[in-house]
Each structure stands twice: as C-alpha cells, then as structure tokens.
C-alpha cells in the first residue's frame, strides 16, 4: 500500500516534470512570454469564474437544503429567542454572501482584458464610499442592539425560585449535585477530595479521615527517609523525592488545618451538605422550572455544552461559573416530536481537556415535575441516607451556633 502510494506520487511528479518540459519547449518555439496572459488563458479563466459561481452557489444551496435544519427546536426558553436571532442573522449574511460573491465573479468575468479597450480611471467616489460605510454601519447597529437585548436576557440574574444544580467536571466525566432540602450546597474544598469523596465535601468525618490519612502518610514517609539516611546508600535523587513528598504532605495537612480553623469560625456552609444529592451518568431537571447551574472543575478547564438547550459555559478550576435556563420540552415529548424513542439530551465537554475529551458526556433528562420529584426522592443523600425525613437536615450555613457545637 505504502509502496503503491509512493509510486503514484513519484509518477505524478515525473509526469508534471515532463509536461512542463514539453510546455517550456513549445513556449520557446512560439516565442511567447509567460507574463503575457494569452487571450485563450484569459478567456478560459474568465469563464471559469462563472462556472465556479454556479458550482459554488449550487453546492451552498444543496447544503442549506440538506443540512439546514441543524438541531431540533430549542428545548429551553432562552434558546427560542436565540434561534430567532440566529435565523435572522443567517438570512442576512446569506443574502449578502450571494450578492457580494455574485458581483465579484460576474465583474471578474465581464471585465476581462480586451486590448482595444482601456480601463475606466475611477479612483474614488465619496458618495459610493459613504454608502458602503453607512449601510453596514446601520445594519451593525441593529444587529448589536438586538443581539445585546437577547444576551442580557440570557445572562441576567436568575429568579429567586430558580432551582440550583451544580455540575462538576473532571477528566473525563461529569457529576451533578442537588442542594437537598435546605436548598444550600454544602461547603466543598479540593483538599478533601479522595476516593470516597469525589467532590471534596466538607464534613466532620471527611476532615478527620483526611487528616488521619495524611498523618499516616507523613509518618511512613518520615520513616522511609530515616531508613534511607541510616542505610546511607540510597541515591540522592531518591532521597530528594522523598523530602519533596514529605514537604507536599505537610503543606496539604496545613491547608486542611487552615480550613478547619475557618470553618470553625463559621465562614461557610459547614455541614449543610449532609442532605446534598450527588448523581453521575445522568441528571434530571423538571420542565418549566428555571434552573441555575453552578459549574466547578476539579482539574483543567472544561466546557459544559448542552446543544439542545442552546446552553454553554466553561467550567474553570478555582472560579465558579453560572448559567441559567428554563427547559420547556421533556425528554418524552422530544422523543415523540423526533420520532426517535432513543433520543436523549446530552451534556458534553466542549473545551479540549485531554485524550478522552471526545467522550466526556452525561445524559440530561427533562421530566415532568412529578417524575422529577419522584426521581430526586430516590437519590441518596451525601450522608448516605435515602431522602427520608427522620434525619433532620443540618442547620443552614448562617447558623453559627450549630457549627460551633460541632467538634472535630
């Protein structure tokens, strides 16, 4: 196969070389100059512009016809306004596209060289230039104003009764968190992330456990260093890496001690997370209810993209971001509309984040409010309980007395 391709390439080059040689010879015989564009060349190319124009326009129209209904109708309220703005813009630019390209190609065709004619000496015309400054200016003013009105509606503050959902990204999956009955997300800290605590939820046990784990690691590292010193034969690089490891562990421990201090001063939603619900694989939202997503990221920048809702926001480590929307079509309704009973809304990653970037997705299910409540009730809380009433939810963040009572 490789040999074959190589052969084709080599033969093609030889063919071009031979053809060029023949051409060079004939040119010398005809005594023609390369820069003198022959009447035949000029005619062929001038006509080719028109042929090209038909091919180009034809293909564009075909693409519009076949692929123009790019996404199903928007499943969110703001998406409908966005689609309207989009189709207006597309109409506008498509018309300008055809007009300007038409003028370009037909002028190129029409004003081809003719030795008996001299070009029109036409250096400038203030009225014409004013025309194509003002017309785009006015059009842009309209697009800007219309666009910004839509933008302000999309990005304005969420209403007070909006339901908050956190979407948490890491290489290479998504996690959703619901704040539970107290409507307050529990505090999180990246220093507490571990195999049993994927989001780094701050809890009494979590902190104690992480500290114990770190103490254990510090101890064993110190021991390894002591052993190494005693032996005296370990390579320097090995000893250095142990020292570095120890330093990192101690820093990590210090950050958790600082965190504990801050939490004890009542500066965040200490313990509000016991009733938080964490789900993976798919998350549900109720139709007709405004949802405000809060995005966080564990490692690198990802982007939460939900094309069917015309929604997108980057998730940035260390910097929470937000996006609000109101879903309007349930998954079941959309399946019916599309005649596809396998259809699902998706959340996907749209900021390159590593090898499995292309595969980082979560299913979004839009339910009726009843189905949604039923689904949510089935999900376990972070403290491990089902959503039963008996475990009273801990006090909200502002309740410092509760926090002060908590011993860790």
CA distance 258 to 268: 13
Which is nearest to 358 in space by CA: 171, 176, 198, 177? 171
CA distance 312 to 315: 10
Q: In this complex, which beta carbon is closest to other proteins, that of residue 108 or of residue 376?
A: 108
Which of 80, 143, 225, 264 is in the footprint of other proteins by CB under 8 A?
143
Scan residues 370-399 and list those touching other proteins (CB under 8 A): none
From residue 404, alpha-carbon distances to 188, 257, 266, 273, 312 in Å are 18, 16, 7, 16, 40
Q: Is 273 in the site for other proteins (CB under 8 A)?
A: no
Q: How far is the CB of 133 from other proteins (least distance, A)?
A: 6
Q: How far is the CB of 384 from other proteins (least distance, A)?
A: 22
Scan residues 219-238 and list those touching other proteins (CB under 8 A): none
Q: In this complex, which beta carbon is closest to other proteins, that of residue 44 or of residue 377?
A: 44
Any bridge partners for residue 324, and if so which? 292
Scan residues 184-223 and list those touching other proteins (CB under 8 A): 190-191, 193, 200
Q: In this complex, which beta carbon is closest to other proteins, that of residue 324 or of residue 395?
A: 324
Q: In this complex, which beta carbon is closest to other proteins, that of residue 193 or of residue 225?
A: 193
Tokens at 391, concatenated: 């475990």
Q: Is 257 in the site for other proteins (CB under 8 A)?
A: no
Q: In this complex, which beta carbon is closest to other proteins, that of residue 13 or of residue 229?
A: 13
Q: In this complex, which beta carbon is closest to other proteins, that of residue 96 or of residue 226?
A: 96
Number of residues that bind other proteins (CB under 8 A): 128
CB atoms inside a 10 Å sphere around CB 90: 13
Scan residues 58-117 and list those touching other proteins (CB under 8 A): 59-60, 63, 67-68, 70-72, 79, 82, 85-86, 89-90, 92-93, 96-97, 100-101, 103-105, 107-108, 111-114, 117
Q: Is 172 in the site for other proteins (CB under 8 A)?
A: no
Contacts of 99 (CB under 8 A, 6+ apart): none
Q: How far is the CB of 119 from other proteins (least distance, A)?
A: 4
Q: Is 129 in the site for other proteins (CB under 8 A)?
A: yes
Which of 29, 30, 31, 34 is in the footprint of other proteins by CB under 8 A?
34
Tokens at 43, concatenated: 């005619």
Inter-axis angle of helices 39-67 and 77-110, nearest 10 = 160
Q: In this complex, which beta carbon is closest to other proteins, that of residue 338 or of residue 374?
A: 338
Scan residues 315-374 and list those touching other proteins (CB under 8 A): 316-322, 342-343, 346, 348-359, 361
Q: Is 37 in the site for other proteins (CB under 8 A)?
A: yes
CA distance 193 to 199: 6
Q: In this complex, which beta carbon is closest to other proteins, that of residue 248 or of residue 380?
A: 248
Check the CA dihedral 314-330-77-156 and report its sign.
negative
Q: Is 308 in the site for other proteins (CB under 8 A)?
A: yes
Contacts of 186 (CB under 8 A, 6+ apart): 179, 201, 202, 203, 269, 271, 272, 273, 274, 276, 382
| Strands 163-170, 291-297: pairing kind | parallel
Q: Is 246 in the site for other proteins (CB under 8 A)?
A: no
- C-beta separation of 65 from 118 below 8 A: no
Q: In this complex, which beta carbon is closest to other proteins, that of residue 107 or of residue 378?
A: 107
Q: How many CA atoms lie within 13 A of 269 on its CB side?
A: 18
């Amino acid at each position: 196969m490789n040999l074959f391709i190589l052969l084709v390439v080599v033969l093609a080059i030889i063919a071009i070389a031979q053809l060029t040689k023949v051409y060079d010879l004939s040119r010398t015989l005809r005594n023609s100059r390369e820069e003198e564009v022959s009447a035949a060349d000029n005619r062929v190319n001038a006509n080719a512009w028109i042929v090209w124009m038909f091919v180009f326009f034809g293909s564009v129209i075909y693409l519009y016809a076949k692929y123009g209904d790019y996404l199903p109708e928007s499943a969110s309220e703001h998406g409908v306004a966005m689609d309207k703005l989009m189709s207006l813009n597309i109409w506008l630019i498509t018309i300008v596209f055809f007009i300007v390209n038409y003028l370009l190609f037909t002028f190129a065709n029409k004003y081809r060289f003719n030795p008996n004619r001299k070009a029109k000496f036409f250096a400038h015309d203030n009225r014409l230039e004013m025309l194509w400054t003002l017309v785009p200016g006015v059009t842009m003013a309209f697009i800007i104003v219309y666009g910004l009105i839509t933008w302000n509606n999309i990005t304005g503050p969420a209403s007070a009764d909006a339901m908050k959902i956190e979407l948490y990204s890491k290489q290479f999956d998504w996690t959703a968190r619901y704040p539970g009955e107290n409507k307050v997300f529990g505090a999180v800290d990246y220093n507490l992330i571990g195999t049993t605590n994927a989001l780094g939820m701050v809890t009494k046990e979590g902190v104690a456990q992480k500290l114990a784990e770190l103490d254990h690691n510090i101890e064993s590292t110190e021991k390894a260093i002591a052993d190494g010193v005693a032996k005296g034969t370990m390579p320097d690089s090995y000893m250095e890496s142990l020292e570095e490891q120890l330093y990192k562990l101690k820093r990590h421990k210090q950050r958790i001690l600082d965190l504990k201090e801050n939490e004890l001063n009542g500066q965040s939603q200490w313990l509000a997370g016991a009733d938080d619900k964490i789900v993976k694989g798919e998350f549900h939202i109720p139709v007709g209810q405004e949802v405000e997503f809060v995005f966080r990221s564990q490692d690198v920048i990802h982007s939460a993209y939900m094309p069917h809702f015309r929604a997108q926001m980057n998730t940035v480590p260390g910097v929470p971001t937000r996006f609000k929307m109101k879903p309007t079509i349930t998954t079941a309704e959309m399946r019916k509309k599309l005649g596809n009973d396998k259809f699902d809304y998706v959340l996907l990653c749209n900021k390159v984040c590593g090898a499995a970037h292309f595969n980082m997705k979560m299913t979004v299910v839009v339910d009726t409010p009843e189905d949604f409540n039923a689904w949510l009730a089935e999900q376990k809380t972070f403290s491990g309980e089902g959503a039963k009433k008996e475990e009273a939810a801990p006090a909200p963040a502002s309740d410092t007395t509760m926090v002060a009572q908590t011993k860790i």
